[in-house]
Protein backbone atom coordinates (compact mmCIF):
# COMPACT_ATOMS: atom_id res chain seq x y z
CA UNK A 1 0.00 0.00 0.00
CA UNK A 2 1.40 3.37 -1.01
CA UNK A 3 1.25 6.15 1.58
CA UNK A 4 0.43 9.66 0.48
CA UNK A 5 2.47 12.47 1.94
CA UNK A 6 0.72 15.64 2.99
CA UNK A 7 1.39 18.66 0.81
CA UNK A 8 3.61 20.25 3.46
CA UNK A 9 5.79 17.16 3.85
CA UNK A 10 5.99 16.65 0.11
CA UNK A 11 6.96 20.31 -0.38
CA UNK A 12 9.73 20.01 2.22
CA UNK A 13 11.12 16.93 0.47
CA UNK A 14 11.29 18.72 -2.89
CA UNK A 15 14.71 20.30 -3.55
CA UNK A 16 14.53 24.01 -2.82
CA UNK A 17 11.00 23.66 -1.49
CA UNK A 18 11.44 23.61 2.25
CA UNK A 19 13.93 23.26 5.07
CA UNK A 20 17.24 24.78 4.12
CA UNK A 21 19.45 24.59 7.19
CA UNK A 22 20.94 21.48 8.76
CA UNK A 23 19.11 22.28 12.00
CA UNK A 24 15.74 22.53 10.24
CA UNK A 25 16.39 19.18 8.56
CA UNK A 26 17.33 17.58 11.88
CA UNK A 27 14.12 18.92 13.46
CA UNK A 28 12.07 17.58 10.53
CA UNK A 29 13.78 14.17 10.78
CA UNK A 30 13.08 13.98 14.51
CA UNK A 31 9.43 14.92 14.00
CA UNK A 32 9.00 12.19 11.40
CA UNK A 33 10.74 9.62 13.62
CA UNK A 34 8.48 10.61 16.50
CA UNK A 35 5.36 10.23 14.35
CA UNK A 36 6.56 6.83 13.11
CA UNK A 37 7.13 5.66 16.69
CA UNK A 38 3.65 6.81 17.69
CA UNK A 39 2.15 5.04 14.69
CA UNK A 40 4.02 1.85 15.53
CA UNK A 41 2.77 1.97 19.13
CA UNK A 42 -0.80 2.45 17.93
CA UNK A 43 -0.40 -0.40 15.42
CA UNK A 44 0.70 -2.74 18.21
CA UNK A 45 -2.26 -1.70 20.39
CA UNK A 46 -4.68 -2.26 17.52
CA UNK A 47 -3.19 -5.68 16.75
CA UNK A 48 -3.60 -6.70 20.40
CA UNK A 49 -7.20 -5.49 20.44
CA UNK A 50 -7.89 -7.37 17.21
CA UNK A 51 -6.37 -10.59 18.58
CA UNK A 52 -8.55 -10.24 21.68
CA UNK A 53 -11.69 -9.75 19.62
CA UNK A 54 -10.90 -12.63 17.27
CA UNK A 55 -10.25 -14.94 20.21
CA UNK A 56 -13.78 -14.20 21.47
CA UNK A 57 -15.39 -15.51 18.26
The predicted-structure confidence for 9-51, as pLDDT tens digits, reads as follows: 666 666 665 657 999 999 999 999 999 999 999 999 999 999 9
Checking if the pLDDT of 7 tops 60, the result is yes
Q: What is the pLDDT of residue 20?
A: 78
**pTM more than 0.75:** no
Q: Which of 26, 24, 31 is nearest to 6 (CA)?
A: 31
Buried/exposed 2-31: b ≥16 CB within 10 Å, e otherwise: eeeeeeeeeebeeeeeeeeeeeeeeeeeee
Amino acid sequence: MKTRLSGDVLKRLTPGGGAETAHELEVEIEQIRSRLAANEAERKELEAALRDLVSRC
